[in-house]
Amino acid sequence: MNIQNTLENTVIDGMKILFEVDIPVIEFQETRKEFEGDLTIVVFPFLKFIKGNPFEIASKLGDFLKENSNEISDFNVVKGFLNLTISDEYYLHSFDRINNTKNYGIKKIDKNEKSVMVEYSSPNTNKPLHLGHIRNNLLGYSVAEIIAATGKKVYKTQIINDRGIHICKSMLAWQRFGNGETPESTGLKGDKLAGNYYVKFDEEYKKEIASLIAKGTSEEEAKKNAPILVEAQNMLRKWEAGDENTVSLWKKMNQWVYKGFDKTYEELGVNFDINYYESNTYILGKNIVAEGLKNGVFYKKEDGSVWIDLTEEGLDEKIVLRADGTAVYMTQDIGTAIQRFKEFPDLDSLVYTVGNEQDYHFKVLILILKKLGYTWAQHLYHLSYGMVDLPSGKMKSREGTVVDADELIIEMTDTARSISQELGKLESYTDKEKEKLYKTIGLGALKYYILKVDPKKRILFDPKESIDFNGNTGPFIQYTYARIQSILRKADFDYSKKIINMPLHQKEKTLIKLLEYFKETIYNSALNLSPALLANYTYDLVKEYNSLYQSLPILGNENLEKKILRTQISNQVGKTIKKSFKLLGIDVPERM
């Protein structure tokens, strides 16, 4: 519990006793730097409930709090602002509570609580993962970890898009141009091999379009009738009909891709509890649509296609079944959502981590499920995130201009190696230790740079900027953690003693106050599905710690009790950095 929570009831009681009014909400602010105090109560909103001079109301309330609250040692009033000075005893007591709470800020998973499912990644099997997938994976994984830290059971899941025209394009190009090559024969990861043939398909497709146009065919007709596309469409029909050779090739190439994905996930440090496959789920929902048609939720058009009219809700009409009876993505997503809640009876909510280009799709999906009568649909959330841009422009998979996830991880490690070697502080490290550190720094830089940004915002990703050892970056925070571990290793005294009575420096109070907010920050991050709140809290904590480190002696303090307290604060800040970064999926080095 932080100081605001502690004081709120006392303030409400004071207003009742002093002015015989019930104040529903108390507005607290950090005291402005030019005024004395730690916490400010804004008195102006009270004027809705009581007539009087704001200065006099604030003064009377200040006297009451000073007399009736152990937390308040003094106060001053500036116009309608009551600036409170929090007692050193309060901060010491609060810090002792934090220090003696095992795994402070992290709640154990309550098996009796309802669970949450978080879906993320959900790649196509025709290409390797790229920078956009990295943001998706980092967001989904971190949100799942943060929700789990609030005591809820979490299922991490993905739905792999392993069927459709896109994979047939890779399959057909491999058949035509691959000469039987495999990941083993080429030394390429399977997802990269499949991706190369997706690009190859597009190259050949464009050649055929140009050839048809040169012969007098219109561009529109050429795009539809290019022989290689027609053949890919035929391949898809064969797959859906269960053609043995087509299904066999599909299984072989998908297995290559899955192995490639797993390697990337391992490098990225993300995992899943359950995998769903579109090849198993694409027909789910057809029976639900038939039932909804009977109940009047859906309607049929003259051509036999099935739709839902959402114009009254400010949307439009949406198809849920084609005229030939085949499913669309919406059919699949309706069925998959229902299937998940059947498979996991303890499931309370479901979070879809999907880019903001699918905002409309998820609005429609959730609305349809509500109309079908599923009460849990009100607990479906779309974690909508902005795209990742590069200084060079937009990524395009079919043209092979994406930033490959594996290559980016290697590039980040190489950049960390280059910068670390320039700083020249690793003389005592073995080569193996150095390589592990470079990877920790490189991945930490990448993950933090992406996660510190509000999910809704677009990101312009600059690898070199992300590995700066100063400012709001992963390496800066990692370096501070390593600095704290160095202090703890050098501490040649017992710093476990409880400090109960000592005047505190403002910088010590600021850090204790920030440590108090750790648990609340985790809760707010989970509530808002935003790792950015936790990331930026950690940066603020680190910034304040470095301010104390640079201006006040820690191990060099002549006063033993002051030395003990500052070492304890250092230790707790280090623990908080480590816990926070773990929830963000980032490792911290013991030395740097």
Contact assessment for residue 80 and residue 58, using Cβ atoms and an 8 Å cutoff: yes
- At 420, the pLDDT band (50, 70, 90 cuts) reads confident
End-of-domain residue from the set 86, 105, 136: 86
pLDDT in tens, 496-506: 999 988 999 99
Name residue, tokens 């609305």. Answer: 367
Q: Are residues 332 and 321 in the same domain?
A: no
Which domain, by its residues, includes 322?
296-326
Instruction: Output the pLDDT for position 392.
Output: 63
C-alpha span between 218 and 507 (Å, rounded):
73
Same domain, 238 and 312: no
Average pLDDT on 407-424 reads 86
pLDDT mean over 270-274: 97
Convert the pLDDT of each residue in 341-391 to its tens digit.
999 999 999 999 999 999 999 999 999 999 999 999 999 999 999 988 877
With a cut of 90, say whether residue 22 has pLDDT above it: yes
pLDDT-based confidence at residue 282 (cuts at 50, 70, 90): confident
Q: What distance in Å separates the CA atoms of residue 530 and residue 426, rounded to the nearest whole number?
A: 35
β-sheet with 28-30: strand ranges across: 28-30, 39-42, 81-86, 72-78
Whether 426 and 490 map to the same domain: the answer is yes
Contact residues for 200 (Cβ-Cβ < 8 A; gap 6+):
173, 177
Query: Mean pLDDT, to the nearest integer, of 67-82?
Result: 94
Last residue of one domain, picked from the residues 389, 417, 436: 389
How large is the average pLDDT for residues 232-248?
A: 95
Question: Is residue 101 one of the residues assigned to a domain?
Answer: no
pLDDT tens string 163-188: 889 999 999 999 999 999 999 999 99
Residue 568 in any domain: the answer is yes
Q: What is the CATH number of the domain that holds 415?
A: 1.10.730.10
Number of domains in the chain: 4
* Other CB atoms within 10 Å distance of the CB of residue 560: 11
- What is the CATH number for 123? 3.40.50.620
pLDDT at position 552 is 97
Task: Count CA within 13 A, CB hemisphere, residue 212.
Answer: 19
Q: Please spell the DSSP secondary structure of 401-430, one letter per residue.
A: -S-BHHHHHHHHHHHHHHHHHHHT--TT--
For residues 381 and 484, state if they share a domain. no
Residue 517 has pLDDT above 50, yes or no: yes
The confidence band for 1, taking pLDDT boundaries of 50, 70 and 90, is: low
Helix, strand, or coil here: 299? strand
Mean pLDDT of 403-429: 85
| Same domain flag for 242 and 307 | no
Domain for residue 100, yes or no? no
pLDDT tens per residue across span 38-65: 999 999 999 999 999 999 999 999 999 9
Q: Assign 393 to helix, strand or coil.
A: strand
How far is the C-alpha of 463 from the C-alpha of 172, rounded, in Å?
36
The kind and range of the H/E element at 335 are helix 329-343
Say if residue 281 is in the same domain as residue 138: yes
The answer to whether residue 396 is domain-embedded is no
Other CB atoms within 10 A of residue 152 CB = 18
Query: Is residue 162 predicted with pLDDT exceeding 90?
Result: yes
Let me know whether 359 and 485 are in one domain: no
Q: Which residue has the higher pLDDT, 176 or 399?
A: 176
- Same domain? For 318 and 343 the reply is no
Tell me: pLDDT of 2 over 50.
yes
Q: What does the pLDDT read at residue 327?
A: 86
Report if residue 290 sits inside a domain.
no
Q: What is the CATH number of the domain that holds 29?
A: 3.30.1360.70
Same-domain check for residues 452 and 504: yes
**Does the pLDDT value for residue 395 go beyond 70?**
no
- Name the band, by pLDDT with cuts 50, 70 and 90, for residue 3: confident
Q: How many CB atoms lie within 10 A of CB 496?
A: 10
Instruction: Tell me, yes or no, whether 201 lies in a domain.
Output: yes
d(CA 372, CA 376): 11
pTM check: above 0.75: yes
Q: Give the pLDDT confidence of 451-462 residue by residue, as tens digits.
A: 999 999 999 888
Contact residues for 23 (Cβ-Cβ < 8 A; gap 6+)? 11, 12, 15, 46, 49
Q: What confidence score (pLDDT) does residue 104 get?
A: 96
Task: Evaluate if residue 400 carries a pLDDT over 70.
Answer: no
CA distance 298 to 281: 21
- Give, for 349, the enclosing helix (H) or strand (E): strand 347-355
My answer on whether 142 and 203 are in the same domain is: yes
Q: Can you give the pLDDT at residue 394?
A: 46
Same domain, 48 and 38: yes
How far is the C-alpha of 567 from the C-alpha of 495, rounded, in Å? 7
| Residue 336 resides in a domain | yes
Give me the pLDDT at residue 283, please.
87
Secondary structure (3-state) at 322: coil
Domain C-terminal end among 86, 105, 139: 86
Is residue 98, in this structure, part of any structural domain at all? no
Claim to verify: residue 74 and residue 141 sit in the same structural domain: no
